[in-house]
Amino acid sequence: MPDLSDISDFIKRIMAGDQNAGARMIRLIESDDPQAFELLRALYPHSGKGFIIGITGSPGAGKSTIINGLITQFRKKDLKVGVIAVDPTSPFSGGAILGDRLRMQTHATDEKVFIRSMASRGHSGGLSRATRDAALVLDAMGYHIILIETVGAGQAEFDISFLAHSVGIVTVPGTCDGIQAVKAGILETGNIFIVNKGDLADAADADISLHQLTQMIAMGKDRRTGWKPKVLTTNGLTGDGLTELATAFLDHHEFMITNHLFEEKRKEQETLYFTSLLRDLTLKKLMAFMENSPEYKEVLNKIGSGEMDPITAAELVVKQMRK
């Protein structure tokens, strides 16, 4: 853990792309260390250049395998790639289960690839604020592409559309993911839709899914940005379609730059980041204040003795604060 007196040197190491320093910084973020806030403040002016790609979809759709293939394709173009794999939180340790990271170990020895698993912390959208902070660190480290895989919680995953510049939604042939996505509104968040085939997948099912998604997108409202979402088929196991997928993401990046949408997205992200920080810091200070109040300690004792239920106790503490 760096001392405050070493912040300048620590920041320089992160900006130079030192992976050990970057890993330590992310550990500080995950442990909610007070120094992390100060370090993020120093790194923030050096961020904003990386292209953040969110990969989301149903559990078992093959997101990790696709990301593994995308790393290979982006590295062929000599782009530095950072990956944040948001894993489910362990109910025992509170940390990430690390399943996704294990699937990407083929890139472990590449000095221009950084892979980190992070816990979702129970957030319904599959992302926590720590994910945004970690993306900021990778951005400041000079990673051109930052891939974020969400926890795969399904239809509630809208957070990624606020964090990422480009969103890829992975579906599996024959599972009606496309129809479910429309019902949930997830189609509105996607820029590229990926029909991922496994070795056992029926080619006819893939064609049907491709047609369904294409038709659904065509029936949707005109997009504010003018970008026409793409629908592509891939096979994460054989690598088929991954070159085209990587190209599609880079095309979207170029489209955003050319049409001044990248800067517009940055401003939107900054506003959302501010409100997220404000909410978290306010809640933290509020809880600290309440936990030190005599009313809080009193109701805890009453809950423990069975004199009061938790619902009544929570209402009572809030009422006391309003006075």
Q: What is the DSSP string of 23-87?
A: HHHHHHHHTT-HHHHHHHHHHGGG-S-SEEEEEEESTTS-HHHHHHHHHHHHHHTT--EEEEEEE
In this structure, are residues 58 and 147 in contact, taking their beta carbons and an 8 Å threshold?
Answer: no
Identify whether residues 89 and 169 lie together within a single domain.
Answer: yes
Q: Which of 244, 50, 52, 270 is nearest to 166 (CA)?
A: 52
Residue 124, pLDDT score: 43
- The CA distances from residue 223 to 130, 155, 187, 217, in Å, are 30, 21, 12, 10
pLDDT at 8 exceeding the cut of 80: yes
Angle at which helix 177-184 crosses helix 203-219, to 10 degrees, equals 20
The answer to whether residue 212 sits within a structural domain is yes
The answer to whether residue 269 sits within a structural domain is no
Handedness of CA 262, 265, 270, 273 (dihedral sign): negative
The answer to whether residue 266 sits within a structural domain is no
In the chain, how many domains are there?
3
The answer to whether residue 228 sits within a structural domain is yes
**Model pLDDT for residues 226-272, shown as the tens digit of each residue:** 888 899 989 877 889 999 999 999 999 999 999 999 999 999 999 98
Identify whether residues 146 and 220 lie together within a single domain.
Answer: yes
Identify whether residues 228 and 157 lie together within a single domain.
Answer: yes
Average predicted confidence (pLDDT) for the chain: 82
- As a residue count, the chain comes to 323
The answer to whether residue 268 sits within a structural domain is no
Identify whether residues 73 and 190 lie together within a single domain.
Answer: yes
Whole-model pTM: value is: 0.84
The answer to whether residue 265 sits within a structural domain is no
Residue 122, pLDDT score: 46
Identify whether residues 38 and 169 lie together within a single domain.
Answer: no
pLDDT at 56 exceeding the cut of 80: yes
**Cα 180 to the chain's mean position, in Å?**
21
DSSP 8-state secondary structure symbol assigned to residue 107: G
Identify whether residues 133 and 241 lie together within a single domain.
Answer: yes
Identify whether residues 240 and 202 lie together within a single domain.
Answer: yes
Phi, psi of 290 (to 5 degrees): -65, -40
pLDDT at 90 exceeding the cut of 60: no
Query: Domain boundary at 205, 233, 259, which?
Result: 259
Identify whether residues 19 and 134 lie together within a single domain.
Answer: no
* Cβ count within 10 A of residue 163: 23
pLDDT at 66 exceeding the cut of 90: yes
Identify whether residues 15 and 162 lie together within a single domain.
Answer: no
- Beta-strand relationship, 166-171 and 230-234: unpaired
Identify whether residues 190 and 280 lie together within a single domain.
Answer: no
Identify whether residues 55 and 106 lie together within a single domain.
Answer: yes
Q: Which domain holds residue 8?
A: 1-46
In this structure, are residues 14 and 106 in contact, taking their beta carbons and an 8 Å threshold?
Answer: no
Query: Domain boundary at 236, 259, 282, which?
Result: 259
**Model pLDDT for residues 145-169, shown as the tens digit of each residue:** 999 998 655 434 557 888 899 999 8
Identify whether residues 42 and 52 lie together within a single domain.
Answer: no
pLDDT at 95 exceeding the cut of 50: no
